């Protein structure tokens, strides 16, 4: 049976790396997929992982009908066996419904990868809809770590290294540049609640 699978985790837990691995394994078996992404760190139309791998992808813009896109691909003679969707938290709930329809009406597996909650610990709309609709949810096992060594379960947004709790839900920044103006850092819940990032912890000592 085809499935809608949601691979969830914090930032920096290896989601995009796994997405690329799944893509590699299937294409090595002669299968062809469509890769969707939104706001990847490498730019529009790219799926990149922190380990340095990059592949071409289709940028799933806010108004794009993902079901319609796949149907059009098939109609113009392309072979589509499965979908990979990275940064799925940024999709609208309607777009997640379209992915479920791809599974049910077109009989394809859809592998969606995303962050569950934002920097305020609230569910992203795309992730909420995936939790509601997915056949299966996989919490990624490559666990990111807080600066204290505990398992990182929450995403913090930082401004010059200090954690912020207000602002737009989506601001593209990078976990590797926490000192940049807007950055992100993964923390355990305890340190997320105390707003203690690695740089504020270092300062406190």
Residues belonging to the active site:
87
Q: In 3D, which of 159, 2, 137, 140 has the Cα closest to residue 82?
A: 2
CB of 192 to Zn ion, least distance (A): 8
**Position among 78, 139, 142, 148 found at the interface with Zn ion (CB under 5 A):** 148
The residues in 185-204 that bind Zn ion, with binding defined as CB under 5 A, are 188, 191
* Interface with Zn ion (CB under 5 A), residue from 64, 71, 150, 201: 150
The piece of 51-59, 73-81, 115-123, 180-188 that touches Zn ion (CB under 5 A) is 180-188
Q: Say whether residue 154 binds Zn ion (CB under 5 A).
A: no
Span of 53-61, 68-76, 129-137, 146-154 interacting with Zn ion by CB under 5 A: 146-154
Which residues lie closer than 8 Å to 194 by C-beta, 6 or more apart?
none
Residue 123 structure tokens: 């569910």
Q: Given the complex with Zn ion, which of 71 and 150 has the nearer CB atom?
A: 150
Q: What token pair was written down for 47? A: 């799926």
Long-range CB contacts (within 8 A, 24+) of 172-178:
172/39, 172/41, 174/41, 175/11, 175/12, 176/50
Q: Does 163 bind Zn ion (CB under 5 A)?
A: no
Dist CA 53 CA 20 (whole Å)? 8
Binding site for Zn ion (CB under 5 A): 146, 148, 150, 188, 191
């Amino acid at each position: 049976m085809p499935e809608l699978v949601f691979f969830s985790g914090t930032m920096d837990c290896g989601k995009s790396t796994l997405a690329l691995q799944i893509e590699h394994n299937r294409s090595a078996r002669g299968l062809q997929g469509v890769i969707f992404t939104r706001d990847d760190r490498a730019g529009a139309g790219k799926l990149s992982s922190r380990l340095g791998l990059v592949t071409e992808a289709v940028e799933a813009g806010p108004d794009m009908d993902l079901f319609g896109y796949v149907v059009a691909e098939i109609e113009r003679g392309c072979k589509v066996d499965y979908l990979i969707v990275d940064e799925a938290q940024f999709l609208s709930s309607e777009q997640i419904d379209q992915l479920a329809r791809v599974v049910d009406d077109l009989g394809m597996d859809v592998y969606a990868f995303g962050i569950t909650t934002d920097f305020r610990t609230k569910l992203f709309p795309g992730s909420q809809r995936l939790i509601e609709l997915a056949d299966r949810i996989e919490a990624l096992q490559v666990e990111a770590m807080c600066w204290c060594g505990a398992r990182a379960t929450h995403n913090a947004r930082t401004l010059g290294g200090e954690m912020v709790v207000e602002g737009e839900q989506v601001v593209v920044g990078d976990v590797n540049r926490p000192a940049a103006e807007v950055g992100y850092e993964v923390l355990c819940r305890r340190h997320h609640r105390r707003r203690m990032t690695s740089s504020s912890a270092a300062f406190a000592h």
